[in-house]
Amino acid sequence: MWKKVNELTNRNVKSTNINEISDDGNIVTDPREIANIFNNCFTDIGPKLAKDLPEHNQIPESYVKPINTIFRFQLVTETDVSKLLYTIKTTKVTGHDRISAKLLKDSADVIAKSLTTIFKKSILSGSFPDDMKIAIVSPIYKSDCK
């Protein structure tokens, strides 16, 4: 395939075929044996190099600087959810649930408590409703790119 692609794009890349190889003084000409010799060479090189590494008594933890930071999700409050609902741009399209941004914004006082409960339970349990995992992604084209 690449030969054809190179021909069509006027690239004169020539491939080199290996017709014979020396393996421990023996000349090998069978293509399968040549492939196996290369395979063995590349699969054995890691352990061979590792064997030649100098011994050391240092444990990795001795040169890794520990950092005493802990990451935790902060539970959202009803106020947080309500504020975010009020900042939704009503010009945005609906999600897969077909609930408009305007409806979410207009009903913020009513739905904030329920949404907060769902968000908290999701964070605490580490389990999120399938509907919260769905997004609709639409490309935004620049001028003359359509």
Contact predicate 101/90, CB 8 Å: yes
pLDDT at position 138, please? 75
**pLDDT, tens digit, 9 for 90 and up, residues 95-140:** 888 899 999 999 999 999 999 999 999 999 989 889 888 888 877 7
pLDDT at position 33, please? 93
Residues 83 and 41 in one domain: no
Residues 86 and 46 in one domain: no
Tokens 């890349």 belong to which residue?
13
Give the structural domain span for 2: 1-52
Neighbours of 28 (CB within 10 A): 17
Instruction: Please name every residue paired with 23 in a beta bridge, in sequence order, or none if there are none.
Output: 26
How far apart are alpha carbons 126 and 145 in whole angstroms?
A: 41
Could you tell me if residue 69 is inside a domain?
no
Residues 87 and 42 in one domain: no
Could you tell me if residue 145 is inside a domain?
no
pTM exceeds 0.85, yes or no: no
**pLDDT, tens digit, 9 for 90 and up, residues 31-46:** 999 999 989 888 988 8
**pLDDT, tens digit, 9 for 90 and up, residues 43-59:** 988 888 888 888 878 88
User: What HEC string does 21-41 produce?
Assistant: EEECCEEECCHHHHHHHHHHH
How far apart are alpha carbons 103 and 111 in whole angstroms?
A: 10
